[in-house]
Every structure is written in C-alpha cells, then in structure tokens.
Amino acid sequence: MNPRFLIVEKENRVARVTLHRPEKKNALSPEVLAEIRDVFRVLDKDEAVNVVVLTGGEKAFCAGFDLNFIRSLEKDSNEAFTALFHEAYRAILFCGQPVIAAVGGPAIAGGFDLSLMCDIRYASSRAKFGQREIALSLTPLLDPLWRIVGLGRAMEVALTGRIYGADEAQAMGYVSRVFPEGELLAGVGEIAETMAGYDRACLRETKRLGRSLGNMELEGAMKVQEWLFRSYIGSEDNHQRVDGLLESLKRK
C-alpha cells in the first residue's frame, strides 16, 4: 500500500490509519475514498493487526465531502461516486477487526459518517459532530446511527443538521469518552494496545456478533451467544489466560 492521503502505521498489533489531506481539512474526494476502501480491505486480511484506529490527528478528523467535487456532479452521472463512498464506508463497517475512531476535531457530514462506521468513538474536547447532509438537500445515514443513539435522537441529528460538541455527543451515547485536548492519541493508543492483546478470533467474532444482534429476535440472539461462548470456553487460549489471571491474583 502506498496511499497518498492516508498514513498507515502498525505497532503492537494495532494499525493506525491517519487521514492526511490537511489543506482540505481531510475532506473526502474520490481519491481519498478509494484509498480508505483499499486500505481497510487490506487490513481486514492482515493477520498481524488485531485493532484499527482511524483518526485525523489531534486537531482534525474530517470536514466532510469535498464540496467542489460534489458541486460538479449531476443526477445522471453520480452513480460511480455514490457507489465509491458506500464501498469505503462498508470497508470500515465490515472490517473484521474492531475499528476505533479517534476524533480530534470536526467530524461533519461525510466525516461524521466515517466515525459512524467505526465500532467505538473517542473524542478530544475540541471535537465536533454533525450530520449536515440535510442542509445540502442530501439524505443522511440513519442506520447504523439509530442503533447507537436510539431512533428519536438519531432523527434529531439527521433532521436538524445541528453541530454537537464532544460532551454532548458523549451524553447521547455516540462518543464513549472525551479526552483533554492533546491527549487523544496517547489515550486511545493505550486502549487499542490493550484490546489488541486479546485473542484475535474472539475480537473478530465479538464484532461480528455486535453487527448482527440488531437483526435477531431475543431467543435467537441468546442461542447464538450460547453457541459462541461454548466455542471458546475450554480452549487452549482460554486456559492460558485464566491461568495468567489466577497467577496474578495469587501475587496480590
């Protein structure tokens, strides 16, 4: 991979993907979207990566779609672009590893959607969130937003186009934790490395389960979860981790 608008770094089984188009506030052009799609498809198959962090750095995330390009589109020539950005979204959403969004600045419209595709969202105190599509006569993504914040709140976010600060995003359940300005990447890095130390297959199976539960009835969901638990309990990795925990408890 030799992306132009992304920086990909790997360490301790964590891949950090940084959006890097600073002169455009990381706006999403077709080239950026194609790189996101391709990078996440490759990472999905990377056995050395257990967790992925998507960020724009400490002061940015993504200001949305490249409006100059959007303005150039016509209704009879938009199919390739709309297919492309949904391919990019799906590459993040269905990446086998857990994907963490580390949002250091505005995540607006298409940038909001990128954070929406991630499994967990952490934010800097300077971050801002908003689905601004409605203000541009575009339909926003309600799913999976409603699964995260509930349908009523998702409707408010989608229909008002309002910009939310980091604390308000956390209060509605969209953001899991807000870090002080300048401490986001270090804090998220620690969380990601801890997660990356867990069993790779179990991480991927847990993510897959989370993505499918919303489509199951409770009885079916309980059966699937019972079967998955039985698939892992008593395994060699399970035994090793229990032994390690028991040994650490003895030392206390």
133 in catalytic set: yes
Question: Which pair of structure tokens corresponds to residue 250?
Answer: 């003895």
Alpha carbons 230 and 94: distance in angstroms, whole number: 24
Closest to 191 measured CA to CA, from 104, 121, 109: 121
Question: Which pair of structure tokens corresponds to residue 182?
Answer: 């300048």
CB 103 within 8 A of CB 121: yes
Amino acid at 192: A
Closest to 25 measured CA to CA, from 59, 53, 2, 54: 59
Active-site residue identified among 35, 47, 58, 133? 133
DSSP-assigned states of every residue in 83-112: HHHHHHHHHHHT-SS-EEEEE-SEEETHHH
Alpha carbons 230 and 222: distance in angstroms, whole number: 12
Helix, strand or coil, per DSSP, at residue 115? helix
Alpha carbons 22 and 7: distance in angstroms, whole number: 12
State the virtual CA torsion across 88, 89, 93, 96 in degrees, nearest 10.
0
Question: Would you name the residues annotated as active-site residues?
Answer: 133
